[in-house]
Amino acid sequence: MALAAHRSDAGAAAARSGLIGRSRPELAAILLALGEPERSVAMRARQLWHWLYRRGATDLATMTTLPADLRERLAERHRIDRPLIVDGQVSIDGTRKWLLRFADRREVETVYIPEPDRGTVCISTQVGCSLTCSFCHTGTMPLVRNLRAGEIVSQVMVVRDALGEWPTPEGHRRLSHIVVMGMGEPLLNYDETVAALRIAMDRDGLAFPRRRITLSTSGVVPKIDACGRDLGVGLAVSLHAVRDDLRDRLVPINRKWNIARLLEACRDYAAQSDRKVTFEYVMLDGINDSDADARELVRLIRGIAAKVNLIPFNPWPDAPYRCSPPERIAAFAAIVARAGHPAPVRTPRGGDVFAACGQLKTASERRRRASLAA
Protein backbone atom coordinates (compact mmCIF):
# COMPACT_ATOMS: atom_id res chain seq x y z
CA MET A 1 0.00 0.00 0.00
CA ALA A 2 1.33 3.48 -0.84
CA LEU A 3 2.58 5.66 1.99
CA ALA A 4 0.33 8.50 0.84
CA ALA A 5 -2.70 6.31 1.44
CA HIS A 6 -1.59 5.73 5.01
CA ARG A 7 -1.13 9.45 5.61
CA SER A 8 -4.55 10.31 4.22
CA ASP A 9 -6.43 7.72 6.24
CA ALA A 10 -7.32 9.53 9.47
CA GLY A 11 -8.79 6.44 11.10
CA ALA A 12 -5.63 4.43 10.49
CA ALA A 13 -3.50 7.31 11.77
CA ALA A 14 -5.40 7.33 15.04
CA ALA A 15 -4.69 3.62 15.49
CA ARG A 16 -0.97 3.89 14.77
CA SER A 17 1.47 4.64 17.56
CA GLY A 18 4.00 7.44 17.45
CA LEU A 19 7.75 7.02 17.00
CA ILE A 20 8.87 10.32 18.54
CA GLY A 21 9.86 9.85 22.18
CA ARG A 22 10.91 6.22 21.79
CA SER A 23 14.28 5.14 23.13
CA ARG A 24 16.72 3.20 20.97
CA PRO A 25 15.77 -0.14 22.61
CA GLU A 26 12.09 0.67 22.00
CA LEU A 27 12.77 1.42 18.34
CA ALA A 28 14.69 -1.85 18.06
CA ALA A 29 11.74 -3.73 19.60
CA ILE A 30 9.37 -2.11 17.11
CA LEU A 31 11.54 -3.17 14.19
CA LEU A 32 11.86 -6.70 15.53
CA ALA A 33 8.08 -6.92 15.89
CA LEU A 34 7.76 -5.87 12.24
CA GLY A 35 9.83 -8.86 11.18
CA GLU A 36 13.19 -7.17 10.70
CA PRO A 37 15.95 -9.80 10.98
CA GLU A 38 17.61 -9.76 14.38
CA ARG A 39 21.06 -9.40 12.84
CA SER A 40 20.13 -6.02 11.30
CA VAL A 41 17.82 -4.61 13.98
CA ALA A 42 20.49 -2.58 15.81
CA MET A 43 21.69 -0.97 12.57
CA ARG A 44 18.16 -0.16 11.41
CA ALA A 45 17.29 1.32 14.83
CA ARG A 46 20.33 3.61 14.57
CA GLN A 47 19.24 4.70 11.09
CA LEU A 48 15.68 5.36 12.23
CA TRP A 49 16.97 7.32 15.24
CA HIS A 50 19.18 9.40 12.93
CA TRP A 51 16.29 10.30 10.66
CA LEU A 52 14.02 11.23 13.56
CA TYR A 53 16.40 13.29 15.69
CA ARG A 54 19.34 14.38 13.51
CA ARG A 55 17.47 15.11 10.30
CA GLY A 56 14.02 15.91 11.75
CA ALA A 57 12.18 13.75 9.23
CA THR A 58 8.40 14.07 9.27
CA ASP A 59 7.68 11.46 6.60
CA LEU A 60 8.78 7.84 6.62
CA ALA A 61 9.05 7.97 2.82
CA THR A 62 12.06 10.29 3.08
CA MET A 63 14.11 7.81 5.15
CA THR A 64 15.95 6.50 2.12
CA THR A 65 18.61 4.51 4.03
CA LEU A 66 15.83 2.21 5.24
CA PRO A 67 14.58 -0.42 2.77
CA ALA A 68 11.33 0.52 1.06
CA ASP A 69 9.49 -2.56 2.35
CA LEU A 70 10.52 -1.72 5.94
CA ARG A 71 9.24 1.82 5.51
CA GLU A 72 5.94 0.39 4.29
CA ARG A 73 5.67 -1.89 7.32
CA LEU A 74 6.53 0.98 9.65
CA ALA A 75 3.89 3.20 8.04
CA GLU A 76 1.22 0.55 8.58
CA ARG A 77 1.59 0.63 12.37
CA HIS A 78 3.44 3.80 13.32
CA ARG A 79 3.52 7.52 12.63
CA ILE A 80 5.87 10.46 13.18
CA ASP A 81 4.12 12.82 15.55
CA ARG A 82 4.38 16.58 15.57
CA PRO A 83 1.81 18.55 17.54
CA LEU A 84 -0.48 20.78 15.50
CA ILE A 85 0.42 24.47 15.65
CA VAL A 86 -2.93 26.07 16.48
CA ASP A 87 -1.60 29.58 16.89
CA GLY A 88 1.71 31.43 16.83
CA GLN A 89 2.54 34.87 18.18
CA VAL A 90 5.63 37.05 17.97
CA SER A 91 6.46 39.62 20.63
CA ILE A 92 7.87 43.05 19.83
CA ASP A 93 11.13 41.80 21.40
CA GLY A 94 11.32 38.79 19.06
CA THR A 95 10.08 36.18 21.52
CA ARG A 96 7.88 33.60 19.79
CA LYS A 97 5.06 31.60 21.37
CA TRP A 98 3.20 28.64 19.92
CA LEU A 99 -0.05 27.06 21.03
CA LEU A 100 0.38 23.35 20.31
CA ARG A 101 -2.39 20.75 20.13
CA PHE A 102 -1.81 17.04 20.60
CA ALA A 103 -3.77 14.09 19.18
CA ASP A 104 -6.33 14.18 22.00
CA ARG A 105 -6.88 17.92 21.37
CA ARG A 106 -5.17 18.93 24.61
CA GLU A 107 -2.98 22.00 24.29
CA VAL A 108 0.16 23.54 25.75
CA GLU A 109 2.21 26.64 25.08
CA THR A 110 5.88 26.61 24.07
CA VAL A 111 8.13 29.68 23.92
CA TYR A 112 11.32 30.49 22.00
CA ILE A 113 13.48 33.34 23.34
CA PRO A 114 16.17 34.62 20.94
CA GLU A 115 19.23 36.45 22.26
CA PRO A 116 22.39 37.64 20.49
CA ASP A 117 24.51 34.72 21.73
CA ARG A 118 21.90 32.00 22.23
CA GLY A 119 18.34 30.88 21.66
CA THR A 120 16.28 29.19 24.37
CA VAL A 121 13.15 27.07 24.13
CA CYS A 122 10.91 26.92 27.18
CA ILE A 123 9.01 23.62 27.14
CA SER A 124 6.03 22.28 29.07
CA THR A 125 5.66 18.90 30.77
CA GLN A 126 1.98 18.87 31.75
CA VAL A 127 -1.31 20.13 30.40
CA GLY A 128 -2.20 22.53 33.18
CA CYS A 129 -0.69 22.34 36.66
CA SER A 130 -1.68 21.02 40.07
CA LEU A 131 0.49 23.30 42.21
CA THR A 132 -1.68 26.47 42.31
CA CYS A 133 1.22 28.88 42.91
CA SER A 134 -0.64 32.11 43.55
CA PHE A 135 1.60 34.38 41.44
CA CYS A 136 1.58 32.10 38.36
CA HIS A 137 -1.05 32.25 35.62
CA THR A 138 -0.54 28.58 34.74
CA GLY A 139 -1.32 27.76 38.37
CA THR A 140 -4.90 28.96 37.83
CA MET A 141 -5.41 26.08 35.36
CA PRO A 142 -6.44 22.61 36.52
CA LEU A 143 -4.09 19.72 35.84
CA VAL A 144 -5.50 17.80 32.88
CA ARG A 145 -2.78 15.23 32.27
CA ASN A 146 0.94 14.56 32.05
CA LEU A 147 2.65 14.88 28.69
CA ARG A 148 4.36 11.81 27.24
CA ALA A 149 8.06 11.86 26.38
CA GLY A 150 7.32 12.32 22.69
CA GLU A 151 5.02 15.26 23.38
CA ILE A 152 7.71 16.92 25.50
CA VAL A 153 10.62 16.47 23.11
CA SER A 154 8.47 17.30 20.07
CA GLN A 155 8.15 20.88 21.37
CA VAL A 156 11.89 21.28 20.82
CA MET A 157 11.49 19.75 17.36
CA VAL A 158 8.70 22.19 16.44
CA VAL A 159 11.05 25.09 17.18
CA ARG A 160 13.78 23.44 15.09
CA ASP A 161 11.22 23.14 12.30
CA ALA A 162 10.37 26.84 12.57
CA LEU A 163 14.03 27.88 12.55
CA GLY A 164 14.96 25.56 9.69
CA GLU A 165 17.67 23.89 11.77
CA TRP A 166 17.54 20.39 10.29
CA PRO A 167 19.69 18.44 9.93
CA THR A 168 21.21 19.17 13.32
CA PRO A 169 23.85 21.81 12.49
CA GLU A 170 27.37 21.68 13.78
CA GLY A 171 28.74 24.53 15.86
CA HIS A 172 26.60 27.59 16.60
CA ARG A 173 22.87 27.32 16.12
CA ARG A 174 20.07 29.67 17.02
CA LEU A 175 18.32 27.11 19.24
CA SER A 176 21.06 26.30 21.73
CA HIS A 177 19.43 25.95 25.17
CA ILE A 178 16.43 24.19 26.73
CA VAL A 179 14.65 25.28 29.90
CA VAL A 180 11.98 23.02 31.36
CA MET A 181 10.05 25.92 32.83
CA GLY A 182 6.80 25.91 30.89
CA MET A 183 3.42 24.61 31.97
CA GLY A 184 3.43 22.01 34.73
CA GLU A 185 5.85 20.63 37.33
CA PRO A 186 8.40 18.39 35.58
CA LEU A 187 9.30 16.39 38.68
CA LEU A 188 5.65 15.33 39.02
CA ASN A 189 5.95 13.84 35.53
CA TYR A 190 9.36 12.43 36.24
CA ASP A 191 9.78 9.36 34.01
CA GLU A 192 8.46 11.02 30.85
CA THR A 193 10.52 14.16 31.45
CA VAL A 194 13.70 12.11 31.96
CA ALA A 195 13.03 10.09 28.79
CA ALA A 196 12.50 13.28 26.76
CA LEU A 197 15.63 15.00 28.06
CA ARG A 198 17.75 11.92 27.42
CA ILE A 199 16.75 12.16 23.76
CA ALA A 200 17.52 15.88 23.79
CA MET A 201 21.00 15.25 25.25
CA ASP A 202 21.90 12.30 23.05
CA ARG A 203 24.94 13.18 20.90
CA ASP A 204 23.43 11.27 17.99
CA GLY A 205 20.03 12.80 18.66
CA LEU A 206 19.16 16.44 19.27
CA ALA A 207 22.64 16.89 20.76
CA PHE A 208 22.04 19.47 23.49
CA PRO A 209 24.88 19.38 26.06
CA ARG A 210 23.55 18.85 29.59
CA ARG A 211 25.14 22.17 30.64
CA ARG A 212 22.69 23.87 28.25
CA ILE A 213 19.58 22.32 29.79
CA THR A 214 17.93 23.63 32.96
CA LEU A 215 15.03 22.00 34.77
CA SER A 216 12.89 24.10 37.09
CA THR A 217 11.02 22.68 40.06
CA SER A 218 8.76 24.18 42.68
CA GLY A 219 10.30 21.83 45.22
CA VAL A 220 9.40 18.16 44.75
CA VAL A 221 12.12 17.20 47.22
CA PRO A 222 12.15 13.37 46.81
CA LYS A 223 12.85 13.66 43.07
CA ILE A 224 15.65 16.24 43.23
CA ASP A 225 18.35 13.72 44.15
CA ALA A 226 17.11 11.30 41.46
CA CYS A 227 17.22 14.12 38.89
CA GLY A 228 20.89 14.69 39.71
CA ARG A 229 21.70 11.01 39.21
CA ASP A 230 19.59 10.47 36.10
CA LEU A 231 20.18 13.74 34.24
CA GLY A 232 22.70 16.04 35.89
CA VAL A 233 21.23 19.07 34.15
CA GLY A 234 21.07 22.54 35.67
CA LEU A 235 18.61 22.81 38.55
CA ALA A 236 16.45 25.90 39.07
CA VAL A 237 14.34 26.05 42.21
CA SER A 238 11.28 28.29 42.53
CA LEU A 239 11.93 29.61 46.04
CA HIS A 240 10.13 32.99 46.07
CA ALA A 241 9.97 33.34 49.87
CA VAL A 242 12.26 33.00 52.88
CA ARG A 243 9.59 32.12 55.48
CA ASP A 244 7.44 29.00 55.50
CA ASP A 245 4.24 30.88 56.28
CA LEU A 246 4.64 33.07 53.18
CA ARG A 247 5.92 30.28 50.93
CA ASP A 248 2.95 28.14 52.01
CA ARG A 249 0.78 30.81 50.39
CA LEU A 250 2.89 31.58 47.32
CA VAL A 251 4.05 28.01 46.56
CA PRO A 252 1.61 25.65 48.32
CA ILE A 253 3.79 22.56 47.77
CA ASN A 254 5.86 24.05 50.61
CA ARG A 255 3.29 22.64 53.02
CA LYS A 256 4.50 19.18 52.04
CA TRP A 257 8.24 19.91 51.70
CA ASN A 258 9.21 23.04 53.60
CA ILE A 259 12.11 25.42 52.99
CA ALA A 260 14.52 23.56 55.28
CA ARG A 261 13.96 20.23 53.50
CA LEU A 262 14.13 21.88 50.09
CA LEU A 263 17.42 23.63 50.82
CA GLU A 264 18.94 20.42 52.18
CA ALA A 265 18.12 18.71 48.87
CA CYS A 266 19.58 21.67 46.95
CA ARG A 267 22.77 21.55 49.01
CA ASP A 268 23.18 17.87 48.15
CA TYR A 269 22.44 18.50 44.46
CA ALA A 270 25.06 21.22 44.20
CA ALA A 271 27.64 19.04 45.94
CA GLN A 272 27.08 15.96 43.78
CA SER A 273 26.75 17.77 40.45
CA ASP A 274 29.46 20.38 41.02
CA ARG A 275 27.08 22.92 39.50
CA LYS A 276 25.47 26.00 40.95
CA VAL A 277 21.81 25.74 41.87
CA THR A 278 19.72 28.63 40.59
CA PHE A 279 17.15 29.98 43.01
CA GLU A 280 14.29 31.74 41.24
CA TYR A 281 12.75 34.58 43.21
CA VAL A 282 9.79 36.53 41.87
CA MET A 283 9.73 40.12 43.08
CA LEU A 284 6.34 40.99 44.58
CA ASP A 285 5.78 44.52 45.79
CA GLY A 286 5.53 44.65 49.59
CA ILE A 287 5.30 40.87 49.87
CA ASN A 288 8.79 39.34 49.69
CA ASP A 289 11.08 42.17 48.58
CA SER A 290 12.38 43.87 51.75
CA ASP A 291 16.00 44.23 52.79
CA ALA A 292 15.22 41.85 55.64
CA ASP A 293 13.99 39.27 53.12
CA ALA A 294 17.22 39.65 51.14
CA ARG A 295 19.38 39.19 54.23
CA GLU A 296 17.40 36.09 55.26
CA LEU A 297 17.77 34.67 51.75
CA VAL A 298 21.53 35.10 52.03
CA ARG A 299 21.50 33.31 55.37
CA LEU A 300 19.41 30.43 54.05
CA ILE A 301 21.61 29.67 51.03
CA ARG A 302 24.93 30.17 52.80
CA GLY A 303 27.29 27.33 51.88
CA ILE A 304 25.35 26.35 48.74
CA ALA A 305 26.99 27.00 45.37
CA ALA A 306 24.16 29.13 44.08
CA LYS A 307 23.00 32.09 42.09
CA VAL A 308 19.71 33.93 42.51
CA ASN A 309 17.58 34.92 39.53
CA LEU A 310 15.40 37.86 40.50
CA ILE A 311 12.28 37.83 38.35
CA PRO A 312 10.17 40.98 38.04
CA PHE A 313 6.57 39.86 38.45
CA ASN A 314 4.88 39.60 35.06
CA PRO A 315 1.24 40.72 35.42
CA TRP A 316 -1.73 38.82 34.06
CA PRO A 317 -5.46 39.61 34.14
CA ASP A 318 -6.80 39.87 37.72
CA ALA A 319 -3.42 38.97 39.23
CA PRO A 320 -3.39 39.65 43.00
CA TYR A 321 0.16 41.09 43.01
CA ARG A 322 2.19 43.98 41.65
CA CYS A 323 5.82 43.98 40.59
CA SER A 324 8.35 45.47 42.98
CA PRO A 325 9.64 48.89 41.85
CA PRO A 326 12.99 48.82 39.99
CA GLU A 327 14.83 50.57 42.82
CA ARG A 328 13.58 47.97 45.33
CA ILE A 329 14.70 45.12 43.05
CA ALA A 330 18.11 46.77 42.68
CA ALA A 331 18.53 47.14 46.45
CA PHE A 332 17.54 43.49 47.01
CA ALA A 333 19.99 42.34 44.32
CA ALA A 334 22.81 44.37 45.84
CA ILE A 335 22.43 42.69 49.24
CA VAL A 336 22.53 39.22 47.68
CA ALA A 337 25.46 40.08 45.41
CA ARG A 338 27.52 41.52 48.29
CA ALA A 339 27.19 38.13 49.99
CA GLY A 340 28.94 36.52 47.01
CA HIS A 341 25.97 35.14 45.09
CA PRO A 342 25.32 36.38 41.53
CA ALA A 343 21.91 38.03 41.52
CA PRO A 344 20.96 38.99 37.95
CA VAL A 345 17.58 40.59 37.35
CA ARG A 346 15.81 38.73 34.57
CA THR A 347 14.79 40.92 31.69
CA PRO A 348 11.09 40.27 31.00
CA ARG A 349 10.58 38.84 27.50
CA GLY A 350 7.38 38.34 25.54
CA GLY A 351 5.07 40.03 28.02
CA ASP A 352 2.96 41.61 25.27
CA VAL A 353 1.96 38.12 24.04
CA PHE A 354 1.74 36.59 27.55
CA ALA A 355 4.88 34.53 26.93
CA ALA A 356 6.85 35.77 29.94
CA CYS A 357 7.68 33.77 33.05
CA GLY A 358 4.49 32.89 34.95
CA GLN A 359 2.14 33.99 32.17
CA LEU A 360 1.58 30.77 30.20
CA LYS A 361 -2.02 29.64 29.97
CA THR A 362 -3.52 28.00 26.92
CA ALA A 363 -6.00 29.90 24.82
CA SER A 364 -8.56 27.11 25.22
CA GLU A 365 -8.41 27.47 28.99
CA ARG A 366 -8.74 31.27 28.70
CA ARG A 367 -11.84 30.78 26.55
CA ARG A 368 -13.31 28.25 29.01
CA ARG A 369 -12.82 30.59 31.96
CA ALA A 370 -14.25 33.52 30.01
CA SER A 371 -17.39 31.53 29.11
CA LEU A 372 -17.91 30.56 32.77
CA ALA A 373 -17.58 34.17 33.84
CA ALA A 374 -20.05 35.40 31.19
Cα separation, 222 vs 256, whole angstroms: 11
Cα separation, 84 vs 309, whole angstroms: 33
Could you give the C-alpha distances from 131 to 219, 224, 278, in angstroms and in order?
Answer: 10, 17, 20
Q: Residue 167, preceding bond cis, omega within 30 degrees?
A: yes
CA 18 to chain centre: 20
Could you give the C-alpha distances from 60 to 68, 71, 108, 168, 251, in angstroms and in order?
Answer: 10, 6, 26, 18, 45
Cα separation, 23 vs 198, whole angstroms: 9
Cβ atoms of 226 and 186 within 8 Å: the answer is no
Cβ atoms of 95 and 112 within 8 Å: the answer is yes
Contacts of 347 (CB under 8 A, 6+ apart): none
The CB density around residue 367, as the number of other CB atoms within 10 Å, is 10
Strand-pairing partners, residue 120, are 113, 177
Contacts of 325 (CB under 8 A, 6+ apart): 285
* Set 151, 185, 357, 365: catalytic member: 357
Residue type, 274: D
Beta strands in the chain (DSSP E): 17-18, 78-79, 84-90, 96-101, 107-115, 118-122, 126-127, 145-146, 177-180, 213-217, 234-238, 277-283, 306-312
Cα separation, 195 vs 101, whole angstroms: 21
* Set 109, 151, 192, 280: catalytic member: 109
45 Rama class: left (phi>0) / alpha (psi -120 to 50) / beta: alpha
Tell me, yes or no, if 109 is annotated catalytic. Answer: yes
Q: Give the torsion sign (CA, 249, 254, 255, 259).
A: negative
Residues designated catalytic: 109, 357
